[in-house]
Structure formats: structure tokens, C-alpha cells
Amino acid sequence: MIELNNVAYSYGGGALLSDISLQLAPGSFYFLTGPSGAGKTTLLKLCYGALQPTSGEVTLFGDDVAGLARDDIAVLRRRMGVVHQDCSFLDHLSVTENIALPLRVSGRQSKAAQEDLTELMAWVGLTHRAEALPPELSGGERQRAALARAVIMSPDVVLADEPTGNVDWEMSQRLLRLLVELNKMGKTVLIATHDLSLIRAAKSQVQARVLRIANRQVQLAGADL
Amino acid sequence: MKLVRADVKRFVLGDRQADRVVPRSGFTAQLTVFAAAAMAFLAVFAMALSLAAGRLATRWGDELAQSSTIRIVAPLDQRAAQTEAALGILETTAGVAFARALSASEQQALLAPWFGAELDLQTLPVPQLIEVIEEDSGFDAAGLRLRLAAEVPGAILDDHSRWRAPLVDAANRLRLLGWLSAVLLGASVAAMVTLAAHAALAANAQVIAVLRLVGATDRYIAQAFIRRFTLRAFGGALVGSVVAMAVVAFLPDASDTAGFLTGLSFQGWHWFLPFLIPLLCAAVAFVATRAAAGRTLKRLA
């Protein structure tokens, strides 16, 4: 579903990533790790079409990203749930409206979708915060709201960039459980994190593969974590 | 063109709540509304001016072009004979529909504003006037002058063109100036909305990034801004136009008292024209915002 072939990406200064080939298998659970600044966020952005590779090709759901118009990528995003580290929201809309935003922008608001929304709010434990505005939420609540927003369209793949970056251990465990549950429902999950203990905790719950960025390359890390 | 139609359709039928995804911006919104109202107010006056100038040009052109005057300046004892002779010539002149000598009481009425009603014209060497009404084709003024000069030495033909032409020219210029002002006002609305839309797009870069992330197309995002600015421009222009029309309606009416002057006020169906201004304003805002959003969104990730 997401495939990178000999992809390289360089910012003005020099190459950040080079010669990366990667194929995300449907239904699998990945961690993407590596030191800060290694290019985890860049790689994720390549995976959801926010960046175009400098060379090589990125294929999303069978389409070469280079050949897609901006609006085509927007439509593809509806099949991908993205959780950002800073999980930005529309601060003037309530939590419920923010979580339902993907439905609204794709014109899929319906009665059934409304029921899904209620269920989803309960699943991430935000029912009591439904009418709050995003700035009133705690870090953990923001991350859960972002996760709910990422999955409301029932995407095939969930990409999360440091989803546990700003929350305590307890909350990161809770988020991890939600992501593992999503994976068990058949969704591909890719989590970028530098938190090795989170990866270790996940290994007891799910068959996770770990991709490590080192020296501008992505390697499949051994089971020795 | 097809794309524009699609956008217009989306505007009318699309997500009525679409502009909710962009936060309200109180002050700049009021500025846009105010500017649109002011422009519309001025545009109504420009329009009134143009229409009035058009009426003047038409009236002076039509009414005066169809009539000429012959003055018979002759000693009293020859006046009647020369008048007869002139009328005789006019009868055989091609292009003259009708000619008649004004009666003494009519001449008295014409002079009354200057000399008072009590004056006896017989005591003054007032020339006899002959009113000549032309056919649409007009007559050969130079030829008529030659014939009159030969047979009626005291006759002077005045076809009014000497002072009519510059007046009609002036009125036409005034009309052109009015329409030019209206066009400039429209362009100003476009410039103002473009600036405001650029500012709004820049201020909402974060909002746009979030919308992109959750799968909103450029078109959807643009629609949020288009809807907002179009409605603001329309609302503002509607208020401005209505106020201006009220002001125009209460202008003193000059048309009855001053012969061929005309009031600035709208007449008849022209009262519907100012209602086009809010629609035009909205159309201009729609196009301007659409263009601004198209340009800006392409630059954002």
C-alpha cells in the first residue's frame, strides 16, 4: 500500500535520506526509530505525500506520487490516518467537530457517521470532553483526539509521529493499546518514535517490526531490542 | 469557464458550514464589509451621474436637433412680407416637416422672463421668429441659408448646432466619466478583496495545514474563503447601495423647473440598476478570492 523505491530526499544542504526501499505490508505493525534529526518525520511525510522525493519513487495505493495533483493526494489522505507530534487542531471548533473534520471535508457526514463518532469518542475516552475546545485539553487528551481524528475515516494505514512525545508513561501505554487495537482490526500502523521502552512494551502485545534510520538508510533492526 | 461554473455551483449548493472551518476574524471582516459598502455607495452615485448625463445628452441632442429658428429682422412695414416669403421658401425646402411664425403673444411669453409681462412688443423692434421642425432626415442648412439670403434679406437661420454640439459633447463626456468611475470602483473592490483574502489566507496557514492533513482538497479550502469574502462583499455592497439610493431619492428634483436640465435621481426602471451593484460586487469578490486562494494554496505544503 505504501512503497518506496530507491528514494532519496535532500534539503538544501545535503542528503538526509538516500537509497531507501521500503514496502509496508498490509496489516503489519512498524516502529520507525533513530536519533533525533535522522529523518523520521521526513520519511513519514514522504509516506503520506506531504513531501516529494528528490529521487526515486513513492507509490501510495498503487499511484506514483510524482504523477498526482495536489487534490489527488488530498483524496488519498482520506485513506491514511496521520497523527502529528504536535497534533494541531482547529482551535475555534470543539473536540467533536475536530474529530469529525475529515468527514466534513470529504462530504461524508451522515447519521451512521455520527454514531461512529460517538463510539469513537468513547473508545479514546473523550466523551466527557466532547464540547471542550482543543486549547483546553491536556497533552494526553490532545494525542487521543488526534488519534480519533486520524481513524474516523477508517483508513487502511495509520501513521503516527512521536504520538507519545508529550505524555507520561501511563498515557503512552494507553495510546499504544489503542494503536495495537487498531492493528488487530487489520490496519497497518507505522509509529515513529525514539522511545525504546515504548517499543519494548509493544513487543509483548503485538508482532512489531522495527525500522531504524542510520546513516541515511533504513535498516530492519534485529530482535535484540 | 467550466471550473468557474463548478465553483459557483459548489458555492450555492455546497457545504453551507464550509466557512466555519476558518476562524472568524472580527476586525478585518468589518473592514471588508465597510470598504464594500463605501465602494457601492460611490458606485451608485457614479451610476446616477452617468444615467443623468446620458439623459441630458439625449434630450439636448434629440429635442434641439429637430428644431431650428429663423429670425426676421426687418423694418416693421416689411416684416410681414418677409415672413410670408420665408414661410414660402420653407414650404418648398426638402426635409422641413413644419414651419410656422410665432404669434405676438407667444413671443411675448418667451420674452416675459426678461422684460416682464406688461411690456408691449409693438413698441420694440423685436424680430419675428419662425419655428422650423425638421424631418428625421434633416435639411440642408447651408442651401437654405443661401436661398433665404437671396430672397429674404432680413432672415437669419439658427439651427442651434453652434451651442448644442459642445453641450452634447460635455454631457457625453460626463457620462463616460461616470462609467469609468464605476469601473474603477469595481477594480478597487477586486483589489481590496484580493488583499484581504491574501491576508486571511496567510493568517490561517495553520488552519490550512490541518485541513490538508485531514484530506481537504484545495477546492474545499478555497471555498471556505470564497464563501466568506463573497458574502461580505455582497452584504456590504447591499447596505451601501441602499443607503446611496435613499440619498439619491431625497435629492431635490430639478427636472420640472429647469427646462432641459435633469435631476440626478434615477428615473423609471433605472431604479433597478443599483441593485446590480451588490451582485457585481459579489461576483468580483468571488473571482478575486478564487484567484488569490488558487495562487496561495499552491505555495503551501
> Measuring CA to CA, how many Å separate B183 from each of B75, B187, B284, B288?
59, 6, 11, 15
Q: Would the pLDDT of B8 be above 90?
A: no
Reference A77, options A45, A32, A52, A29; nearest CA is: A45
Assess if residue A106 is contained within a domain: yes
Nearest CA in chain B to A48: B213
Confidence of residue B261 (pLDDT cuts 50, 70, 90): low
Mean pLDDT of chain B: 83
Q: Which residue has the cell 439670403?
A: B149
Q: Is the pLDDT of residue A31 over 50?
A: yes
Going by their DSSP bridges, the two strands A157-161 and A188-192 should be labelled as parallel
Strands (E) located in A91-148? none
| Chain A nearest-CA residue for B20 | A93
Cα distance between residue B278 and residue B262, in whole Å: 26
Dihedral pair phi/psi, residue B73, rounded to 5° = -105, 105
CB atoms A74 and B15 under 8 Å = no
Specify if A225 maps to a domain.
no
Q: Identify the domain containing residue A87 by its residue range.
A: 2-220
- Domain assignment of residue A91, yes or no: yes
Q: Do B216 and A88 touch (CB under 8 A)?
A: no
What residue type is assigned to position A27 of the chain?
G
| SS3 (DSSP) at A211 | strand
Measure the CA dihedral B292/B295/B298/B301, to 10°. Answer: -60
Return the closest-CA partner of residue B130 out of B95, B77, B84: B84
pLDDT at B254: 60
**Which chain B residues are within 8 Å of A88, Cβ to Cβ?**
206, 209-210, 213
Residue B24 class from Cβ within 10 Å (0-12 exposed, 13-18 middle, 19+ buried)? exposed
Identify which of B123, B91, B87 has the alpha carbon closest to the alpha carbon of residue B104. B123
Number of domains in chain A: 1
SS3 A7: strand
pLDDT of B296: 86
B29 chain-A contacts, CB cut-off 8 A:
none
Single-letter amino acid code for the residue at B106: E
Q: Is residue A14 part of a domain?
A: yes
CATH number for the domain including A16? Answer: 3.40.50.300
A29–chain B Cβ distance below 8 A for any pair: no
DSSP tag of A210: E
ipTM of the prediction: 0.86
What number of helices (H) and strands (E) belong to chain B? 9, 4
Measured CA to CA, the distance from residue B187 to residue B47 in angstroms comes to 15
Q: Which residues of B touch A (CB under 8 A)?
A: 15, 17, 20-21, 23-24, 206-207, 209-220, 297-298, 301
Q: Note whether A74 contacts B: Cβ–Cβ < 8 A.
A: yes
CA B121 to chain CA centroid, Å, is 43
Residue boundaries of the structural domains of chain B: 2-61+165-299, 74-153
Confidence bin at B240 (pLDDT 50/70/90): very high
Phi-psi category of residue B116: left, alpha or beta, with phi > 0 → left and psi -120 to 50 → alpha: left
* Gap between the Cα atoms of B54 and A100, Å rounded: 58
Per-residue pLDDT reduced to its tens digit, B52-94 = 888 888 877 776 667 788 888 888 788 888 888 888 888 888 8
Name the residue among B17, B23, B209 with its Cβ closest to that of A88. B209
Which tens digit of pLDDT belongs to each residue from A143-198?
889 999 998 988 999 999 988 887 888 888 988 988 999 899 999 999 999 888 88
Residue A47 included in any domain: yes
The pLDDT of B206-213, averaged and rounded, is 89
The per-residue pLDDT for range B141-192, each reduced to its tens digit, is 888 888 888 888 888 888 777 677 787 788 888 888 888 998 898 899 889 9
Task: Please indicate whether, in this complex, the C-beta atoms of B215 and A74 are within 8 angstroms of each other.
Answer: yes
Per the CB < 8 Å rule, is B24 touching A84?
Answer: no
CB–CB of B15 and A107 under 8 A?
A: yes
